[in-house]
């Protein structure tokens, strides 16, 4: 199984294991030489190893040097595939859904190796596919994304129903155009969860990448099972915790008003210092990072859905000065608010600035 750490690879594995005709012998992952992070996803090697343990399969990695000149991706991947074939492997499975470009790329890499590609998810409707995975309890986070498609602040957040509802119409629900990639914490058939939390963000391959680290295991409950402890469940903290629900309601109603930490801590009935710790522990990012993302997402919605002046939209989301609003918007969307609106009206959207396509997805 070609392993990226993401949802579609995990679901393709689940699909194959549910079919008695297939025997899955292991996971194969491309990682960056030097730090061992997964290619384009930016996931730490230790987390890939934890995932392999959770699914009960050996992990084999291919080290790729992104600085090589000429790039050595094809050569090192094909050499590994030839070795797998000599060891008795017949097929390599991929989690692609509909991208003909990506499938052609896979086929190109397999040429001359003696291996045949398998695509168990091919031609699935991506929105139905996403909801099927979530309905089965799959838990995942966005580990990397194209900042021209989504705000960089989204890196590290949950892939869940609220994320699907948030997505602009031009973004594929499964990120099949490489708009975003995911890291799976649990999927059907896994022996255990691999819980993670985002601790930082960095840029690589032209992508905003969340630095995910293992999260301490949650103690087993001693009383009746609650939704928080259902195997595979990944509840939205803003839905599950009443304090956070109050905070979210207050912020969304007052983005242009009083939403500083002191006021929001009062809404949560906590001291400001306690609120900061509580919020980061429950949500995974600081309150300031989350607030900035809410402002930008609201601004983008208003630009798409209204003809209000740019300056007025900035004020509505908490930027009283046009220059600060334009600077913040450009930092998240790589274009000015006015340019963003022009492209939306014209049905055109900016392309992400990425490295050469190597066919990774999810």
Same domain membership, residue 152 and residue 27? yes
Per-position DSSP letters for 11-38, written without gaps between them: HHHHHHHTSTT-----EEEEEETTT-PB
Please write down the long-range contacts of 123-131, taking CB distance under 8 Å and 24 or more positions apart: 123/97, 123/98, 124/97, 124/98, 126/97, 126/98, 126/172, 126/173, 126/174, 126/176, 127/164, 127/173, 129/11, 129/97, 129/173, 129/174, 130/164, 130/173, 130/174, 131/161, 131/164
Residues 257 and 323 in one domain: no
Instruction: Tell me whether residue 95 is in a domain.
Output: yes
Distance CA 198, CA 215 (A): 9
264 and 134: one domain? no
322, 258: one domain: no
Q: Are residues 240 and 208 in the same domain?
A: no
The DSSP line for 141-194 is EEEEE-TTTS-GGGTTSEESHHHHHHS-TTS-TT-TTSSEEEEEEE-TT-SS--
Give how many domains the chain has, as a whole number: 3
Range of the domain at 308: 288-346
Do 48 and 169 have their domain in common? yes
* Residues whose CB is less than 8 angstroms from the CB of residue 256 and which lie 6 or more positions away in sequence, other chains included: 315, 316, 317, 318
Note whether 195 and 295 are same-domain residues: no
Is 359 a member of any domain? no
Q: Are residues 61 and 189 in the same domain?
A: yes
Question: Minimal CA–CA distance to 118: which of 102, 103, 101?
Answer: 103
Q: Do 126 and 35 lie in a common domain?
A: yes
- Does some domain include residue 229? no
- Give a yes or no: residue 132 inside a domain: yes
Whether 272 and 325 share a structural domain: no
Do 201 and 156 fall into the same domain? yes
Angle at 137 between CA 189 and CA 362, to 5 degrees: 85
Q: Are residues 295 and 279 in the same domain?
A: no
Per residue of the chain (362 residues), give pLDDT as tens.
Answer: 999 999 999 999 999 999 989 999 999 999 998 888 998 899 999 999 999 999 999 999 999 887 776 668 889 999 999 999 999 999 999 999 998 998 999 999 999 999 999 999 999 999 999 999 999 999 999 999 999 889 988 999 999 988 898 888 889 999 999 999 999 999 999 999 999 999 989 998 889 999 999 976 444 334 433 333 333 334 567 866 788 888 998 998 898 888 999 999 999 888 888 899 889 888 878 898 889 888 988 998 898 888 899 999 999 999 988 888 998 888 877 889 998 888 877 766 543 333 334 445 55
Residue 129 belongs to domain with CATH number: 3.40.50.620
């Amino acid at each position: 199984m070609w392993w990226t750490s993401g949802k579609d690879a995990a679901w393709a594995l689940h699909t194959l294991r549910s079919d008695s005709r297939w025997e899955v012998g292991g996971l194969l992952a491309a990682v960056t030489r030097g730090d061992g992070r997964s290619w384009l996803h930016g996931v730490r090697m230790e987390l890939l190893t934890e995932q392999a343990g959770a699914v009960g399969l050996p992990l084999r990695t291919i080290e790729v040097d992104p600085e090589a000149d000429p790039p050595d991706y094809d050569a090192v991947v094909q050499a590994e595939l030839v070795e797998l074939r000599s060891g008795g492997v017949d097929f390599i499975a991929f989690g692609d859904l509909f991208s003909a470009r990506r499938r052609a790329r896979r086929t190109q890499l397999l040429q001359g190796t003696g291996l045949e590609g398998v695509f168990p998810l091919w031609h699935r409707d991506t929105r139905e596919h996403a909801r099927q995975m979530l309905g089965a309890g799959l838990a995942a986070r966005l580990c990397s994304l194209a900042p021209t498609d989504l705000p960089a602040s989204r890196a590290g957040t949950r892939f869940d129903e609220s994320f699907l509802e948030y997505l602009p119409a031009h973004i594929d629900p499964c990120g099949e155009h490489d708009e975003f990639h995911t890291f799976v914490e649990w999927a059907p058939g896994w022996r255990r969860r691999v819980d993670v939390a985002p601790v930082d963000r960095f840029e690589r391959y032209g992508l905003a990448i969340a630095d995910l680290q293992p999260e301490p295991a949650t103690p087993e409950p001693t009383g009746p099972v609650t939704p928080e402890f259902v195997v595979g469940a990944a509840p939205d903290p803003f839905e599950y915790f009443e304090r956070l629900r109050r905070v979210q309601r207050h912020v969304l109603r007052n983005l242009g008003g009083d939403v500083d930490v002191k006021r929001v801590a009062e809404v949560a009935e906590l001291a400001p210092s306690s609120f900061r710790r509580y919020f980061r522990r429950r949500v995974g990012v600081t309150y300031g990072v989350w607030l900035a993302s809410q402002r930008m997402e609201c601004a983008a919605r208003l630009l798409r859905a209204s003809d209000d002046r740019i300056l007025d939209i900035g004020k509505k989301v908490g930027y009283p000065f046009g220059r600060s609003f334009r600077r913040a918007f450009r930092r998240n969307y790589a274009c000015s608010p006015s340019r963003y609106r022009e492209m939306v009206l014209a049905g055109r959207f900016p392309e992400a600035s990425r490295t050469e396509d190597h066919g990774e997805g999810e």
